[in-house]
Amino acid sequence: MLKQTVKFFRKNLDRFASSKWKHFYGNFVRSVTSNSSTDTTTSYSVPKEKVECIVIGAGVVGIAVARSLALKGRDVLVIESASTFGTCTSSRNSEVIHAGIYYPHNSFKALFCVRGREMLYEYCSKHDIPHKQIGKLIVATRSSEIPKLNDIINRGIQNGVDSLRMMDGAEAMKMEPRLQCVKAILSPLSGIVDSHSLMLSLVVCIYAFLAPFTMLNINPMLVQGEAENHGATFTYNSTVTGGHLEGNQICLHISETKSIKEWNGTSILRPELVVMPKLVVNSAGLCAPILAKRFTGLQSQVVPPAYYARGCYFTLSNTKATPFRHLIYPIPVDGGLGVHVTIDLNGHVKFGPDVEWINGVDDNSSFLNKFDYSVSANRAEQFYPEIRKYYPNLKDGSLEPGYSGIRPKLSGPGQPSVDFVIQGEDIHGVPGLINLYGIESPGLTSSMAIADFISTRFLG
């Protein structure tokens, strides 16, 4: 399948080295210059292709990076292991546009969040993406939390977040009559966005497969997006399983996702296709560190350790009216921003996420997104007391299980939060390789700023 994509890029639809890729996709917009050969470093034959730029992972950051590279005139292939874009962290979050308040001054999180928020609002307005700047209240529910609230507003001001204002509890509760707090920060620049509509606007195509990975004729349903219009193409159901170096050239190992579903995690994974890009961006999210460790020739000590934290959301039921008009956030906790109130664009209220650290994630689970996303109804017992600290009138039985997401973290329980990590050749020594690690919150807000940074710094 992937080989057909690359072949079509070259506008050279002659005989393929492996017929199993022949009916990968039906229609693409632009082509890239590529040469094919056969792998001579192994005892078995593996087709090889050269492409200009590859982005691994079709989450919101990967999509934004692909768009930014394409806007600079590069031909881009995005490789996604799932059947469509945005199936992991990008679609399992609070869908909040953050202002840039919490993060250390001059950190990537602070810089990208502030700039990304501006870019995101502008893009959403220009392209009619559903969004709303509803504002946020960060609340102290007892006097002992006020010093932390002071630290938060000072950090936000230091980061260049405009219009932040500290207010007494009485003023905050006048704004939100069902709120209970002793003091609060008003952040007027915070908001909400329909993340799927955003990704759909940015992404290449959505394909409806009648019979994936078969020799049948496939009739794709195409939805044009910004990235495709400027020269990017996505290929789904294809997994980058590792890579190696040939001199200074990185070679990516790619297989059909279905072929590794039964992989035991220890046996050798033989690639079905090797792709040699001039530039590759590892934006694989949850599995980015694990994937990087599978690049033979990349020093393992430069790859940060991976930690995973599940966050569950519960929806508010049995209520006729939305209790809040603003986002309501408590003081941050270890591993997250606390169980907060999010209002979606339809006015529905959800609470979350909490923090549950996950251990023992193997390569295969990470590659294939085999995380447990179920939400136990019993977990609501831990939500009620946290929510009632700022919403004391929450009724018993009003919380229903919603959904969950997994955060790709670089720090574990009890450890200080770690900044986004963007590694290029200056760090790991591999030309043309950019690794993105720990792109958790505020990754959605920061996505366009991260993309702009990568295309500017690494393309000039």
pLDDT of residue 227: 55
Residue 29: band (very low, low, confident or very high) from pLDDT cuts 50, 70, 90: very low
244 close to 251: Cβ distance less than 8 angstroms: yes
Q: What are phi and psi of 412, to 5 degrees?
A: -100, -170
Comparing CA positions, the residue from 252, 289, 272, 421 lying closest to residue 367 is 289
Give the tokens for residue 209: 């497969």
Q: What is the 3-state secondary structure (H, E, C) of the chain?
A: CHHHHHHHHCCCCCCCCCHHHCCCCCCCCCCCCCCEEECCCCCCCCEEEEEEEEEECCCHHHHHHHHHHHHCCCCEEEECCCCCCCCCHHHCCCCEECCCCCCCCCCHHHHHHHHHHHHHHHHHHHCCCCEECCCEEEEECCHHHHHHHHHHHHHHHHCCCCCCEEEEHHHHHHHCCCCCCCEEEEECCCEEECHHHHHHHHCCCCCCCCCCCCCCCCCCCCCCCHHHHCCEEEECCEEEEEEEEECCEEEEEEEEHHHHCCCCCCCCCCCCEEEEEEEEEECCHHHHHHHHCCEECCCHHHCCCCEEEEEEEEEECCCCCCCCCCEEECCCECCECCCEEEECCCCCEEEECCCEEECCCCHHHHHCCCCCCCCCHHHHHHHHHHHCCCCCCCCCCCEEEEEEEEEEECCCCCCCCCCCEEECHHHHCCCCEEEEECCCCCHHHHHHHHHHHHHHHHHC
pLDDT of residue 36: 42
273 close to 47: Cβ distance less than 8 angstroms: yes
Least confident of 148-157, 261-270, 376-385: 261-270
Residue 268 CB burial class (10 angstroms; 0-12, 13-18, ≥19)? exposed
Least confident of 60-69, 172-181, 354-363, 390-399: 354-363
Give the tokens for residue 68: 């930014």
Q: State how far the Cα of 178 lies from the Cα of 453, in Å rounded to an integer.
A: 42
Average pLDDT (98-107) is: 98
145-203 per-position pLDDT tens digit: 999 999 999 999 999 999 999 999 999 999 999 999 999 999 999 999 999 999 999 97
66-97 per-position pLDDT tens digit: 999 988 989 899 999 999 999 999 999 999 99
70 close to 230: Cβ distance less than 8 angstroms: yes
Residue spans per domain, the chain: 2-90+197-301+419-459, 124-190+306-409
Residue 225: band (very low, low, confident or very high) from pLDDT cuts 50, 70, 90: low
**Residue 25: pLDDT over 50:** no
**Beta-sheet strand order (sheet of 191-193):** 96-97, 191-193, 131-132
- A 10 A CB-CB count for 208 gives 12
The architecture of the domain spanning 2-90+197-301+419-459 is 3-Layer(bba) Sandwich (3.50)
**Residue 431: pLDDT over 60:** yes
pLDDT of residue 40: 39
Residue 460: band (very low, low, confident or very high) from pLDDT cuts 50, 70, 90: low
Which residue's entry shows tokens 């270890």?
A: 334
**Residue 294: pLDDT over 70:** yes
433-444 per-position pLDDT tens digit: 999 999 999 999
| Distances in whole angstroms, Cα of residue 207 to Cα of each of 165, 222, 225, 234 | 46, 6, 13, 10
260 close to 207: Cβ distance less than 8 angstroms: no
pLDDT of residue 233: 83
**Residue 211: pLDDT over 70:** no
Q: What are phi and psi of 320, to 5 degrees?
A: -85, -25
Indicate the pairing of strand 47-56 with strand 327-329.
unpaired
Average pLDDT (349-360) is: 94
Q: What is the domain class of 124-190+306-409 according to CATH? A: alpha beta
Bridge partners, residue 328, by sequence: 137, 341
Q: State how far the Cα of 408 lies from the Cα of 195, in Å rounded to an integer.
A: 18
Q: What are phi and psi of 359, to 5 degrees?
A: -115, 160
Q: How many residues in total does the chain contain?
A: 460
pTM of the model: 0.88
Give the tokens for residue 228: 């495709």
Which residue's entry shows tokens 């599978």?
A: 294
Bridge partners, residue 435, by sequence: 282, 423
